[in-house]
Amino acid sequence: MVKDDEGITIAAGVDTTPDKFINDYLVYPTLNAVNEKTDVIVDFSNPKGLPILLAYGMENRIPMVICTTGHSPEDKENIKSASEKVAILTSANMSLGVNLLLSLVKQAAKALEENFDIEIIEKHHNQKMDSPSGTALAIADSINSALKEKKEYVYGRHSKTGKRTFQELGIHAIRGGNIVGDHSVIFAGAGEVIEINHSALSRDVFAVGAIRAVKFLYDKDPGLYNMSDVVSNATA
């Protein structure tokens, strides 16, 4: 997709198995081996690589678009701390549609809070490492931010034998095949059900969002940004 965009070029790549790639740019085994001048780093990798990523970005003053999910609370604090020295954009999901969904579920939760149970179901491919997905957690957080009384996150119910309480917000993960990413938010009331769904049919949607994020971030001052800032900037 970058090849079709005159405003951006991939300088280099980093992967633990660089020899398996055939590209028109070099792929290095470690970030510290990269010699090319770069304006922004895009991270779709693994939380274990975060310390090296943050150290490299801060040392070289290179903004970072961090798309990896599964970060611990400590990881998130480290990202926040690093953003005081260099611009960082984080997002649980780079899809523009998902970021619109976050706004829609917040609006629905506020309107339906008193009478509807809320459940989240996410589906991903069988190679995904973290569960539930970062996007599912972002959806739950968006819902909770709109509620007068915060919900308790309940991850599946395999060990529960009692009735569902109204304070629960159920989050369920499904893994199988090559599902790119499906998220459903169910508002279940007495006699009616409302669902808000998003399905990623191709990983291209994440590339589109990542490219938009790179263009947004490359000249930004230090700070912590997210995809809402990207979407707002595009419509301003």
Cβ 70 vs Cβ 47: under 8 Å: yes
* Residue 95 pLDDT: 85
* Pairwise CA distance, residues 143 & 167, whole Å: 13
* Residue 137 pLDDT: 94
Residues 144 and 57 placed together within one structural domain of the fold: no
Residues 136 and 157 placed together within one structural domain of the fold: yes
Cβ 98 vs Cβ 135: under 8 Å: yes
Region 195-220: mean pLDDT is 92
| Percent of the chain with pLDDT strictly greater than 90 | 73
Mean pLDDT of the chain: 92
Specify binding-site residues. 36-37, 67-69, 91-94, 125, 134-135
Q: Any catalytic annotation for residue 128?
A: yes
Active-site entry in 128, 172, 215, 220: 128
Banded pLDDT at 36 (limits 50, 70, 90): very high
**Cα–Cα–Cα angle for 148, 194, 154, nearest 5°?**
55
Residues 108 and 80 placed together within one structural domain of the fold: no
Q: Any catalytic annotation for residue 124?
A: yes
Residues 207 and 196 placed together within one structural domain of the fold: no
Active-site entry in 71, 106, 123, 124: 124
Residues 196 and 109 placed together within one structural domain of the fold: yes
- In the predicted structure, residue 180 carries a pLDDT above the cut 70: yes
Residues 117 and 180 placed together within one structural domain of the fold: yes
- Specify the number of domains making up the chain: 2
Cβ 64 vs Cβ 40: under 8 Å: yes
- CA-to-CA dists, residue 12 to 37, 125, 212, angstroms: 9, 27, 18
pLDDT top residue among 17 and 86 = 86
Among 219, 180, 177, 41, which residue's Cα sits nearest to residue 97?
A: 180
Residues 86 and 108 placed together within one structural domain of the fold: no
Residues 193 and 110 placed together within one structural domain of the fold: yes
CATH of residue 149's domain is 3.30.360.10
* Pairwise CA distance, residues 96 & 94, whole Å: 6
Residues 35 and 112 placed together within one structural domain of the fold: no
* Residue 161 pLDDT: 81
Residues 72-82 have pLDDT tens digits of 999 999 999 99
Could you list the residue range(s) of the whole structural domain that residue 40 is in? 2-90+203-235
Residues 79 and 110 placed together within one structural domain of the fold: no
CATH of residue 209's domain is 3.40.50.720
Token pair belonging to 79? 């990202």
Banded pLDDT at 235 (limits 50, 70, 90): low
DSSP labels, the chain: -GGG-TT-----EE-SSGGG---SS-EESSGGG--S--S-EEE-S-GGGHHHHHHHHHHHT--EEE------HHHHHHHHHHTTTSEEEE-S---HHHHHHHHHHHHHHHHHTTT-EEEEEEEE-TT--SSS-HHHHHHHHHHHHH-SSPPEEEE--TT--SPPPTTEEEEEEEE-TT--EEEEEEEE-SS-EEEEEEEE-STHHHHHHHHHHHHHHTTPPSEEE-HHHHHHHHH-
Residues 117 and 190 placed together within one structural domain of the fold: yes
Residues 53 and 69 placed together within one structural domain of the fold: yes
